[in-house]
Structure 1
Amino acid sequence: MLGAAGLHVLVNYREKAVRANGVVDEIRRAGGRASAAGADVCDDNAVKALITDIGERFGTLDVLVLNASGGLERGADPGYAMRLNRDAQVHLATRALPLMPPGARIVFVTSHQAHFYPDKPVPDGYEPIALSKRAGEDALLAAKPALAERGIALKVVSGDMIDGTIIVRLLQRRDPAAVEARRRRSVLPTVGQFAAEITAAALHFDHRDMIYVGGADYLT
């Protein structure tokens, strides 16, 4: 969707180069422009190299979509979720600022289960993600006035469980009752629906700062 809008899309990945290049190829086949950009966003040196490369190749960065999320992986240490979902997000945004001109946008992608934490219950095992994603959102919101002074908009897009994603499959294994409870309450948004809202935020077509996708019961 971003490629169709005329942006050159940089698809960041840590280990899954084949998957990232698959997205790049799909964008190019559709007539868009895209590149893969390998970097572990938890690694300061990798982030510094990534931003330097973007500056040298493109000069500016108009949109930064902070979509990385983790904490349910097998073998992850207790501090991993916070390092990825809060620290890395803030650090990447901070590193990117010198490349972002007035009118640029930062889009932080989160879930209702994290955005409404701790006021709403979360599925079994999801609490480390909810806590750290909420912390990441709060940290970025605290920087919002400083971003506004530079003419940079911060958007938050929060979605209910997104049907067909890996996170729903992982949650299904850990707490199938919680996933089925969500399905009974509301039709889960699709990847396409969620992507459309993220794209609207990234392109500034939606002027709301906080965008909710699905899960109407969370909003009452």
Structure 2
Amino acid sequence: MGTLDNKTAIVTGSSRGIGAEVAKILAGEGAAVVVNYRQKAPRANKVVAEIQAAGGRAAAVGADLTTDEGVHALASTAMEEFGSLDVLVLNASGGMESGMEEGYALKLNRDAQVNVLNAAVPLMPEGSRVVFVTSHQAHFVETVPTMPEYEPVAKSKRAGEDALRALLPNLADKGISLVVVSGDMIEGTVTATLLDRSNPGAIEARRAEAGKLYSVEEFAAEVAKMVTADVESGHTEYVGGADYFGKTAE
């Protein structure tokens, strides 16, 4: 018996990277998983195929979370495909991509997070869990300076975390818990790659400063643990970046 047997999880931004790995881990623990993508259908279908080949259940949903249609398509798919929604992993983020509209980072990293949560909550039973994935660079942005190239994204993600935390009383009324997972810069992610492209040497410099950077697989395992961890709602799980805690009182 898996720890998530008969449960359904949505993992946003899960066609690749951290989200894809989290989706596979949760499926391995018995959950039916909704794999969300914005444009990369082949990648999402590959994740679903890997889960199914391992004996799990999954479905891919193309949904732009900055639109009302995308948000509701994502939430409704969990019910239509698997009949329940018990876990929501808010992993999707962005803002460093080229060619995006002005204000896109805030639209995705704050507004979309809240909209997805609000669409999911009416479908989630008591005892359900929401996990919000962020970075130390965002979580501590008000007290620890980050790289100028990343600051607008970091501030938008912090705004998203604050907006979600503002909903904690509403979630408590429904018996739903929210956990935040904050990680140091992760090797191999799209964000890290884009950041290193705009600021060559950024990853190497952060690795030298921190001593170690987690891989996508290592960080995904920590995110997945928080789906069932015995922690209070509002808990923040810190992954890596121990040097941050000498820089701030938080």
Normalization by structure 2: what TM-score? Answer: 0.84
Q: Is 1:152 aligned with 2:176?
A: yes
Shift of 1:168: 1.2
- The residue that corresponds to 2:95 in the other structure is 71
Structure-to-structure mapping, 1:6-155, within 5 angstroms: 6-155=30-179
Letter in 2 for 1:199: A
Give the structure 2 partner of residue 198 of structure 1. 223
Structure 1 unaligned spans of 5+: none
Q: Is the 8 A contact 2:180 2:236 kept in 1?
A: yes
Q: Does the aligned pair in 2 maintain the 1:124–1:175 contact within 8 Å?
A: no
Name the % identity. Answer: 57
* Root-mean-square deviation over aligned CA pairs: 1.3
CA-CA distance at 1:51 after TM superposition:
2.1
User: Where do residues 202-217 of structure 1 align in structure 2 (5 Å cutoff)?
Assistant: 202=227, 204-207=228-231, 209-217=235-243
Q: Hey, what's the Cα distance between the residues in 1 that align with 2:54 and 2:83?
A: 25
Alpha-carbon separation, structure 2, partners of 1:123 and 1:189: 19
Distance (whole Å) between structure 1 residues aligned to residue 225 and residue 117 of structure 2: 20
Q: 2:206 aligns with which of 165, 170, 182?
A: 182
Measure the CA separation in 1 of the matches of 2:159 and 2:89.
Answer: 17
Q: Deviations over 1:77-103 (max 9, x none)?
A: 221000000000000000111110001
Structure 2: segments with no counterpart, 5+ residues: 1-24
1:165 aligns with 2:186: no
Q: Would you say the 8 A contact 1:200–1:206 is kept in 2?
A: no
1:179 is displaced (CA, Å) by 2.2
Contact 2:91 2:132 in 1 (8 A): yes
Q: 1:40-89 CA distances to partner (integer Å, 9 max, x unpaired)?
A: 11110222233233223333211000011111011112210000000000
SS of the residue 1:117 aligns to: coil
Contact 2:48 2:59 in 1 (8 A): yes
User: How far has the Cα of 1:120 moved from its partner?
Assistant: 1.1
Q: Whole-Å Cα distance in 2 between the matches of residues 36 and 91 of structure 1?
A: 20
Does the aligned pair in 2 maintain the 1:124–1:174 contact within 8 Å? no
**Alignment: residue pair count:** 219
Structure 2 Cα separation of the partners of residues 217 and 198 of structure 1 = 20
Q: CA deviation at 1:105?
A: 0.5
Separation in 2, partners of 1:56, 1:27: 19
Equivalent AA in structure 2 for residue 219 of structure 1: F
Distance 1:75 1:207 in 2: 40
Counterpart CA distance in 2 for 1:3 and 1:50 is 18
C-alpha displacement of 1:206: 4.7
